[in-house]
Amino acid sequence: MLFNNDEVKSFLPHRDPFLFVDSVKEVTLPPGVNEDGENLALKDCLGATVTAFFHAKKDLDIFSGHFPGNPVLPGVIQVEMMAQASCFMSSKVYKDPGKFKLEVALMGASHCKFRKPVLPDMNLTIKAKLVKVRGPVISYDGEIYHGDTLMSEASLLASVKFIERDS
């Protein structure tokens, strides 16, 4: 595991009940990009992918109101899940990501498709791929799977800034 639950919490600013990544399996840079050298630019990471996991616990607060007696994870939460997972690609940009605070803001989502309902107790795999960089604005394609079944997908637009932490 690249990021366990405690490391996820040290990287993302989100907390329960709005943290939707339990762990990150891998962050893969595109072929030909060497991460052993200096810090990378976001544009060097085009094609980078993230694979993360989330268990939709049956006692997740959102299920009690969406919908009573027929709990379904809302599509907007699934989009947020893809956005949170996509942040981990940024862990490859700096050699020591712990020195930086990640400030990210979701700016848009398009091409959202919710193919199957996400239900309580599902183990989900979240995948994100960096597809475009324009300065601090980045575009990702995200997908959520339960096993081999594609549950949802979306294209995401976000603003990403790295702020050096005080020593």
Q: What is the mean pLDDT of residues 43-67?
A: 94
Whole-angstrom CA distances from 26 to 12, 78, 92, 134 are: 16, 20, 11, 24
From 114, 128, 123, select the one nearest 158 (Cα to Cα). 128
For 103, phi then psi, to 5°, come to: -110, 115
15-36 tens-digit pLDDT:
999 999 999 999 999 888 876 6
**List of domains in the chain:** 5-164 (3.10.129.10)
Which pLDDT does position 96 carry in this prediction? 66
pTM (2 decimals)?
A: 0.92
Quick one: residue 111, left, alpha or beta (phi over 0 = left, psi -120 to 50 = alpha)? left
Catalytic-role residue among 14, 55, 66, 146: 66
Q: Is position 55 annotated as part of the catalytic site? A: no
Average pLDDT, the chain: 90
